[in-house]
Chain A
Amino acid sequence: MKYKAITAIAALLALPMSAQAGPDDDKLVINGEIEMVTKTAAPAHLQDAMDEVMSGWHFRSDETQAMEADDFDNPGMVFVEKALGAWETAEGSEGKSCADCHGAVEDMAGVKATYPKWNEEAGGVRTLQMQMNACRTERMGAEAWKYDAGAAIEMEAMLSSVSRGMPVNVAIDGPAQATWEKGKELYYTRTGQLDLSCASCHEENYGNMIRADHLSQGQINGFPTYRLKNAKLNGVHSRFKGCIRDTRAETYSPGSDEFVALELYVTSRGNGLSVEGPSVRN
Chain B
Amino acid sequence: MARMYPVAFVLLLLVALNAGANLGRDDERFHEELVVRPLSGDHVNTYFQFTTRWHYGDKDNLYHTQLTPRVIAELLQQFAVKELHIGLTQGLWRYETWGYPIVEATSGAEMWAWFSGANLTNREVDRQWKELANVFSGVLCASLNFVDNTNSIAPRHLIRPQFMPANGRRFVRYATLPREIVCTENLTPWKKLLPCGSASGFASLLNSGHVHNTKYHSLGLKVRVLCEDHDEDNCIVELTQTANLVYDLRLFELSNNDFSLRRMFGMGLNGFCELAESSKIYVQRNEQGERYQLVPEPVHEVKTTRGGHSVVYSVYDMHEQFKEPGERLFNVAWLAPKSENRRRNLAKPSLPPVTVHRYLLGHGQERGRIVTEVTNSHYDTLPIMLQEVIPWYVHAYLHTLSIRRKPQRVNEYGRQRLPFKLLHYTPGKQRELPSHLEIGFTLPGQTSALITIDVDYLLLKWLEYPPDANHGHYIGSAIVSSQLPMGRNYTALPPEGHLFEHSFNATRPSYVLSLHTEALIVSLPTPDFSMPYNVICLACTVVALAFGPIHSVATKMIIVGRQASTPKNFVKKIFNKIFRRGKPTDEAAAECEELRAAGAAAVGATGMASARASISPGGPSGDQPLLEDLDEEEEEQD
**A-B interaction:** no
